[in-house]
Amino acid sequence: MTIDITITEVAARDGLQNETHPVSTEQKIELIGRIAKAGMKRFEVTSFVSPRAVPALADAEEVVKGLPERDRLIVEGLVPNMRGAERAAALKLDEWVCFASASESHSQANSNTSTEEALGRLQPVIDLARQEGVTPVGAIATSFGCPFEGDVPVARVVDVARRMTDMGVETIKLGDTIGTAWPSRVRELVQAIRATLPKTTIVLHFHNTRGMSLANVLTGIAEGVDRYESALGGVGGCPFAPGATGNVPTEDLVHFLHLEGNRTGLDMDGLIKAGHWFETVLERKLPAHLLRAKPVGVTTDLSEMKRATG
């Protein structure tokens, strides 16, 4: 069955938050612009966290203000607390992503608070978002595993999702922070949230740390999930989660979805060109397979090849 899939591009936020190579404000804006030219509409562009905690995203305001063709995009920003909300309020974003960790240990490492404390400080952020005409969205880190505790029980994730929806959130992002999700767990968690919160929109955010992201996407689609997040080139990783590596690459995800007959509204060639440009910015090869191999069905002219001799 062919379905329409919505992708949120997170390279400018999740992709760069753990990046050691300096990326200028102008390059971040150009990155978003190049991906937008390939048809991407929805972007998580930055995070309004403390610049001391995540210096790579210290230019949040400048990035948002410089976005090209702003009215054509749906712009999200990560807003962890009221201090971040006050910064974001002046920028007229479309969505604020309010997050908490499902595991206590990651919450302490990532936010220096317990999960309970992190949830407690979200209500005023969500209230301010609605007051400002912004849609609040919930995001749950370590939904599929914690670098410090290992397995995170499904019931724990469902409880955090329920708490967020009780605050007024209608969309929940399930974050595979360290790339430990596997298909049967994806199925179990999606079904559990659907059973408890049937009106909640689910977004799946996979990292490709162990090469399982596309299998997890296929499982999500089988469960009726039509929203996913990815990062151009496969960049990314949480600076407060040891072993976290890049997101599922946008190029690879779109290639896979198109082969399966799904619609994304995105131009494959445009994404690949943007990915090669991004490699020049970061001055290294990126993990996306489609930056090394041609899309399935694209052939090579035999006349260009050396012939076997002897």
Rounded to whole angstroms, the Cα distance separating 242 from 240 reads: 6
Residue indicated by tokens 């007229």: 92
Say whether 146 is catalytic.
no
DSSP summary character for residue 233 = G
Indicate which residue of 11, 238, 248, 266 is catalytic: 238
* Measured CA distances, 86 to 62, 92, 96, 134, 219 (Å): 15, 11, 12, 13, 38
Provide the 10 A C-beta neighbour count for residue 277. Answer: 15
Burial 137-169 (b: 16+ CB within 10 A, else e): bbbbbbbbbbbeeeebebebbbebbebbbebeb
Provide the CB-side half-sphere exposure for 189 (13 A, CA).
34
* Measured CA distances, 11 to 18, 38, 96, 192, 306 (Å): 11, 14, 17, 29, 38
Q: Catalytic positions, please?
A: 238
